[in-house]
Amino acid sequence: MQTVLRSGRPLRLDDIEDAADAHELALRTAGVSRGALIATAMRSGAEHLALHRALRRIGAALAPLSPALPPALLSSAVDALRPSLLLVESAARDSTTSGTPVGSLGGPFPAAATATRPLPDGAEFVFLTSGTTADPKAVVLDGRAVAATDAALLSRFPLDSSDTVLSVMPQHHTGGWTVFPLAALESGARLIVRDRFDPTAAREALVEHGVTAMMGVPTHWSRLLAVLRPGEAPFPALRHAVVGGAPVPPDLVARAACHGIRLIEGYGLTEAGPNVAAARVPGGPLHPYDGVTVRLADDGEVLVSSPSLAAGYLDDEAATRDTFRGGWLHTGDLAEERAGGGFSIVGRIDDVFSTGGESVVPASVERAMLRLPGVLEAAVIGVPDPDLGSVGAAFVVAAHGAEPSLATVRARLADELPRHALPARLHVVPSLPRTPVGKVDRRALREDRR
């Protein structure tokens, strides 16, 4: 008899293992074998964890995609990954997958396609680093990296059978797996998985179940704090409150402290498993986890060496060689050393920005905007936002007589871009500042917005 898991209630590893039995049988019946890649476009949930467990038994890898991807971007992602099978929540998305067999966890799986290329040995996950570009990088994490990153996290935030973890991170991100969920199961802790973040529901779960550990992006924590009464401290059991995935607003840690929450900043990235470092005290500098080595290059770029580093990028040897050099991951993040030890992240080498924990690639948004009627030129930058950390600000040079509005632009882009990539602000300007070689001067745009 198949075990049905309900997301939102506490589960332990035995519950996940029992539910994985039926998934393993269905996968093997469909022809899924060692080395296969299975993609999903499903909401976060406990059944997703059971599917991963079944795939790990088989020796196949999981590529979780955002269920919110518009059809064109889902098709692009599937084309890039070339999975043997795609599992979705709605059969209506079948036509978007370029011939890849499509099924759902609620029914029998169709016959899996034959793998068209080998995965690195031991591959367990493949994560896309960005859902807003037609050619995303696919990061491969093998079982060794997953085990190492969980061990690194537990070196700073230990868990045991007395703990209860609340997972609110989406499972198309590494944080939905290797920032507490998998470590919780292996440690014997109880795990509660939410399919989406609702601050009121999160508050209720934290109180009802005596949650002891939760990781969220700054937006999660900001919205949770907003539903608490002034001075209220309702989470006495919460001993591991971790924030990361996006720049942490300066006042967020202080706001959390007013409610008895010791909010600790964590730092990581998909290519590192993702766990790299965390503060030791609220508001303090970052220090590497046990087993992780961090050094700053001459230009301030963060370099990481760790057994949790990814195996590389799928089907992109050039990018792998450029990013993973001499045993060091070149993160693209900029940091400064802090007096007394540790470091702080101060920015990105490139222009990618994070909004509510989701990465946005300005170039992909700009390309979509240039296809809009009346738009001659477009540039997008990330600007500070008290709720989401950063949001996209679009600068547009309009054709004569055209009067683009933010509402119109967002509505027309909604079918091409995920919601988090839609511009939150729009500025119609007579011209864009450019460098001597003709590139848009993004630094000048940022200075103009200060």
14 pLDDT above the threshold of 50: yes
> What is the SS3 assignment for the chain?
CCCCCCCCCCECHHHHHHHHHHHHHHHHHCCCCCCCEEEEECCCCHHHHHHHHHHHHHCCEEEEECCCCCHHHHHHHHHHHCCCEEEECCHHHHHHCCCCCEECCCCCCCCCCCCCCCCCCCEEEEEECCCCCCCCCEEEEEHHHHHHHHHHHHHHCCCCCCCEEEECCCCCCCHHHHCCHHHHHHCCCEEEECCCCCHHHHHHHHHHCCCCEEEECHHHHHHHHHCCCCCCCCCCCCCEEEECCCCCCCCHHHHHHCCCCCEEEEEECHHHCCEEEEECCCCCCEEECCCCEEEECCCCEEEEECCCCCCEECCCHHHHHHHEECCEEEEEEEEEECCCCCEEEEEECCCCEEECCEEECHHHHHHHHCCCCCEEEEEEEEEEECCCEEEEEEEEEECCCCCCCHHHHHHHHCCCCCHHHCCCEEEECCCCCECCCCCECHHHHHHHHC
Count of the separate structural domains present in the chain: 3
- Average pLDDT score, the chain: 90
pLDDT at 134: 34
Instruction: Specify burial of residue 91 (Cβ count, 10 A radius: 0-12, 13-18, 19+).
Output: exposed
Domain boundary among 81, 104, 119: 119
pLDDT band (50, 70, 90) for residue 96? low
| CB-CB contact of 259 with 228 (8 Å) | yes
**269, 309: one domain:** yes
Instruction: Specify burial of residue 429 (Cβ count, 10 A radius: 0-12, 13-18, 19+).
Output: middle
pLDDT at 435: 61
| CB-CB contact of 380 with 355 (8 Å) | no
Highest mean pLDDT among 84-98, 134-148, 288-302: 288-302
Is residue 128 a part of any domain in this protein?
no
Is residue 125 a part of any domain in this protein?
no
Share of the chain above pLDDT 90, in %: 71
Is residue 126 a part of any domain in this protein?
no
In this prediction, residues 75-84 reach a mean pLDDT of 91
5 pLDDT above the threshold of 80: no
Is residue 98 a part of any domain in this protein?
yes
In this prediction, residues 174-190 reach a mean pLDDT of 97
1 pLDDT above the threshold of 50: no
Instruction: Specify burial of residue 99 (Cβ count, 10 A radius: 0-12, 13-18, 19+).
Output: exposed
pLDDT at 450: 57
**333 vs 206, higher pLDDT:** 206
Report CA torsion sign: 68, 72, 77, 78. Answer: positive
pLDDT at 98: 64
**303, 179: one domain:** yes
**209, 295: one domain:** yes
Highest mean pLDDT among 34-48, 91-105, 345-359: 34-48
In this prediction, residues 70-83 reach a mean pLDDT of 89
Report CA torsion sign: 222, 224, 225, 229. Answer: positive
3 pLDDT above the threshold of 80: no
Highest mean pLDDT among 125-139, 307-321, 361-375: 307-321
CATH number for the domain spanning 377: value is 3.30.300.30
The answer to which of 94-103, 147-156, 179-188, 306-315 has the lowest mean pLDDT is 94-103
CATH number for the domain spanning 273: value is 3.40.50.12780
Closest listed residue to residue 287, CA positions, set 279, 275, 295: 279
Domain boundary among 324, 348, 372: 348
**147 vs 7, higher pLDDT:** 147
In this prediction, residues 146-158 reach a mean pLDDT of 98
Is residue 135 a part of any domain in this protein?
no
**290, 372: one domain:** no
Share of the chain above pLDDT 70, in %: 93
**328, 364: one domain:** no
pLDDT at 449: 65
pLDDT at 46: 93
| CB-CB contact of 308 with 142 (8 Å) | no
In this prediction, residues 66-70 reach a mean pLDDT of 87
CATH number for the domain spanning 58: value is 3.40.50.980
pLDDT at 93: 47
In this prediction, residues 82-102 reach a mean pLDDT of 75
pLDDT band (50, 70, 90) for residue 349? confident
**46, 111: one domain:** yes
| CB-CB contact of 65 with 39 (8 Å) | yes
**181, 322: one domain:** yes
**Residue 249: both structure tokens together:** 């607003």
Is residue 153 a part of any domain in this protein?
yes
Is residue 131 a part of any domain in this protein?
no
**358, 338: one domain:** no
Domain boundary among 119, 154, 184: 119
pLDDT band (50, 70, 90) for residue 336? confident
The residue segments making up the domain with residue 236 are 144-348
pLDDT at 350: 77
Determine the distance from the C-alpha atom of residue 144 to the mean position of all C-alpha atoms in its chain, rounded to a whole number: 20
In this prediction, residues 324-353 reach a mean pLDDT of 88
95 pLDDT above the threshold of 50: no
pLDDT at 131: 37
**220, 365: one domain:** no
In this prediction, residues 282-293 reach a mean pLDDT of 97
pLDDT at 4: 52
20 pLDDT above the threshold of 50: yes
Q: Which amino acid is at 318?
A: A
186 pLDDT above the threshold of 80: yes
**197, 256: one domain:** yes
pLDDT band (50, 70, 90) for residue 437? very low
214 pLDDT above the threshold of 50: yes
Buried b (16+ CB within 10 A) or exposed e, 188-197: ebbbbbbbeb
| CB-CB contact of 203 with 168 (8 Å) | no
Is residue 397 a part of any domain in this protein?
yes
**149, 279: one domain:** yes
In this prediction, residues 418-433 reach a mean pLDDT of 94
| CB-CB contact of 99 with 121 (8 Å) | no
129 pLDDT above the threshold of 60: yes
**210, 273: one domain:** yes
pTM of the entire predicted model: 0.82
